[in-house]
Amino acid sequence: MAEGHESPGLLGSCMIAFVQSKSLSSTLISQLSQIVKDHGAEVLEPGRKGEIRVPQATHIISNTIDFDQYAEAQALMIPVVRSDWIKATIARNKLAQVRPFSPDPRMIFSSVVLTCADIPPTDKEAIAGAIMALGGMESKDLSRQTTHLCALSLDHPKCIEAKKKNLKCKIVLPHWFDDCFRLGKRIDEGPYLLPNPEILLKAPEDAVKIPASQQLEGAVSTVPTGPYETGGSEKLVVFAQKKIMLSWDLPINPMLRKTITDKIVKGDGEIVDVVEDCDMFVCQYREGEQYVRASQLGKDVGNLAWLYHMMVYNEWTSPFRRLLHYPIPKNGIPGFQDMRITLSNYGGEARLYLENLITAAGATYTRTMKSENTHLITARMHSEKCEAAKDWNIEIVNHFWIEESYAACHVLPLNNPKYRHFPPRTNLGEVIGQTSFDEPTLREKYYPGGEERMTDAAKKKRKINERAQKNGLNVGLDRDFNVMQDPTPWEPAGSARKARATPALGNFSTPAKTRHVRSGKENDTPSVMSSASRSAKAQALSKLQDLAPDIALYEKEKKRAAKDGHGIWGGKRAADQLDKERVNRSSSPASRAADDVEDEPENKRPAKRAKVSLPEVDMRICLTGYKRWVENKGTEEADRRKLRSLGIQIVQENAPCNYLAAPGMVRTMKFLRCLAKGPDVINSSFITACIETGKRPPLKDHRLVDKANEARFGVTIDKAVNRARANRGRLLWGVPIYCTADIPNGVDAFKNIAEANGAIFKVYRARSGTTIKPTTEEEDEGAGPDPVYLLTGASPAERQLWPRFEEMARKGHMEPRIVMADWLLDVAMRQELSFDPKYLMTNRVS
């Protein structure tokens, strides 16, 4: 904080917005927000719909590019940087560069700070230029910030100094950069580390361990089993305030469809049946009017694997990021149909992924290799299959060829050196699954045109995507980007290794974020014949419902009889003649009696139809603090019926709602629980007016105005709602909150409020064991202690729990905060995670 007073204007020109994610928690955002404010920056409040106000921002702090408005930030050239940028800026007392802190995974060297030792000048310049173009930094001198030291031997003074000072930087051969540039991916430095680099000491044919493929978890198959449960005890929030449409071509049965629907609705999402209304469209194939329409409107279009992935990780991700998260071509990709492809040197999920990718592309996968095979995809050049492929003239390539062909929607030629490059001591399975789609390529192939039917919002989104694509190319991130054109190879000193070809950057594409949550078993794609049957039944049922008024009219017409018995052909006369035989055969005394009743005049029919003709519910209101029904329970049911006739339904706080009605800003459980969903807040006088007048008054006349409580809580109603829409139920995401069993007003109310905002809630009792895992600072990788809260009253029994709670928290490398319940209520009301020592119970007791 001292630096903030010395240079209060360090961030004075900055307007900063934060994007919450699992790697950038609300707790960390709260801390960083205070830090940047202390240094003169302004933290932007979210917009009316909870969106980031991108045009006003100078910097967007996000540790991932997986957020809705990333393309808009690219289009407007607003820098998106990791949270480390703030620390680097303050440490250097000047604004840090933005490129080295980009979360874009195409910046494969974004965390690299390089210095070179005994490297030829030409190669040194080429390496440094490429490193900086791909997000790294180059330093002339060795420092504690240096992460990589490029050298040919350990004899250089920089290497000696690094060993003497025990710096954590890695001393690598230039061959590592060469192989990274050739592949366009960052491979493991292990085989290139001095003093004993494997690439110089071991033969290429020696065994290499098959690596894990963490980035493939949840993206191995287009039809995984599931749906999976969200990790831990987290509330599912990824679908909050989102409308999802499930296509009828999905290979799922009605029971599984209902399970998925229930999960989405429970997570504050909504299932819709009209493409124009949805935010996410989930389907199996890249065809059909609905797929084309959703894609042209700029909806998020993905498949079942994408939907399940979001359920597991509880975070939104673009369906373009992973190849098997996007709907597959029903008949494969042209050119792959006659190919027979086999695999070698891949294991685990990487092999399953490639098997499914080959099948989705339209080729035939074979487990064994025969002379009829056309291609061998291998992670290394050494195996029995590789030797046989050479003898049988079978094409040998790495997985980049099949991935990039699938992304390009056509078969790419094999003459790209990238597809035949195999680092001698690396299994390329470690960089699998890092290829993504380009939206313009998919649009040109599968859903061209459509401008005349596009909404204004869709046209704006398309322009944003086109501008973002153009700006992405301008900064040198497209597949043809090349920064090293010096053809001079280097010769490692004291090495018998042959001179290598010039380092060159190949095709760069977006890698997936590394994941650590284990997913379940995934199955091969089943037949979807049953899905087509269900689709036909659904269409028939829909048409039947459309015909319901005509059917009812026909039934009524059948009962009509002419006065003179000689009326026109139709009505009862026609029905009797056409159905006489069937009626006589099936009639009985009971049925005839029923028919006699039905032949009576239809005086009561309109009343029955009036029930069916209730207007569709378009206002779901959660009502709290309403006193009209407190003392007069008898009128409540009648009032609810009046409201229902106006299309208004009063719902409970745990049900989806789009309005919250109250007499003021009240700290009731209902109000705070519903506020987390971000509904429009109105005065409960709107309900009274609807009941008394029998019609809806203008909403603008009943907006909730409560200046006194706005001043009391330190937030306006509009600001709290906007924040709630931005938080989407994640205000306290991952924040552990304990509560004593004897707290005044009971545990349940606080539990509902905390969990509505995404907290991890536990009850703390005298006999509660240790529920925080003992952890050291080293195990937390040097990070500071995270806060853990205990909601408590001031009774003697509760005070006896405080020392034990503090001890448990500190052993788990966490900061114990024993607070009164008002802290949770105020945080939920402001929809902003903050802390003030005034809430500490120790201060209150003292």
Instruction: List pLDDT tens digits, range 252-267.
Output: 888 999 999 999 988 8
pLDDT value of residue 232: 53
Per-residue pLDDT reduced to its tens digit, 429-438:
999 998 999 8
For range 166-179, the mean pLDDT = 90
- Over residues 375-386, the mean pLDDT reads 92
Split at pLDDT 50, 70, 90, the class of 1 is very low
User: Phi and psi (nearest 5°) for 694?
Assistant: 75, 15
Q: How far is CA 362 from CA 253, 292, 351, 564, 759, in A?
A: 25, 21, 17, 72, 46
Half-sphere exposure of 364 (CA within 13 A, CB side): 11
* Better-predicted residue by pLDDT, 184 or 599: 184
Per the model's pLDDT, the better-predicted residue between 305 and 3 turns out to be 305
Cα angle 285-290-296, degrees, rounded to a multiple of 5: 95
Mean predicted confidence (pLDDT) in 370-375:
92
- 708-734 pLDDT, tens digit each: 999 999 999 999 999 999 998 889 988
What pLDDT is recorded for position 557? 54
Q: Which helix (H) or strand (E) holds 791?
A: strand 786-791
Which CB contacts under 8 angstroms, 24+ apart, belong to 489-493? 490/119, 490/120, 490/123, 490/174, 492/152, 492/173, 492/174, 492/175, 492/200, 493/118, 493/152, 493/153
Model confidence pLDDT, tens digit, residues 266-321: 888 889 999 999 999 999 999 999 999 999 999 999 999 999 999 888 889 999 99
| Cβ-contact 399, 432 below 8 angstroms | yes
pLDDT classification of 133: cutoffs 50, 70, 90 = confident
**pLDDT exceeds 50 at position 609:** no
pTM: predicted TM-score of the whole model, two decimal places: 0.75
Report the C-alpha gap between 285 and 223 in whole angstroms. Answer: 12
In DSSP terms, 662 is beta-bridged to 683
Give the pLDDT of residue 555: 56
Average pLDDT, the chain: 81
For residue 532, pLDDT beyond 70: no
Q: For residue 59, what are the β-bridge partners?
A: 16
pLDDT value at position 567?
A: 44
* Beta carbons within 10 angstroms of residue 846's beta carbon: 6
Query: Region 234-247: what's the mean pLDDT?
Result: 87
Average pLDDT for residues 623-633, to the nearest whole number?
Answer: 84
User: How many DSSP H helices and E strands does the chain contain?
Assistant: 31, 24
What is the per-residue pLDDT for 588?
45
Using one digit for the tens of pLDDT, what is the confidence trace for 752-805? 999 999 899 999 988 877 788 888 877 777 778 889 999 999 899 999 999 999
SS3 (DSSP) at 266: helix
Token pair, residue 421, equals 């490059």
pLDDT at residue 191, rounded to an integer: 93
Mean pLDDT of 44-49: 89
Of 353, 3, 410, the C-alpha closest to 213 is 353
| Structural tokens at position 239 | 């679908």
For residue 353, is pLDDT > 60?
Answer: yes
Q: Is residue 508 very low, low, confident or very high in pLDDT (cuts 50, 70, 90)?
A: very low
**pLDDT over 90 percentage in the chain:** 45
Confidence at residue 703, expressed as pLDDT on a 0 to 100 scale: 92
DSSP sequence for 296-314: HTT-EEE-HHHHHHHHHH-
Q: What type of residue is 252?
A: I
The residues facing 397 across adjacent strands are 377
- pLDDT tens for 154-165 read 989 999 999 888
| pLDDT value for 490 | 38
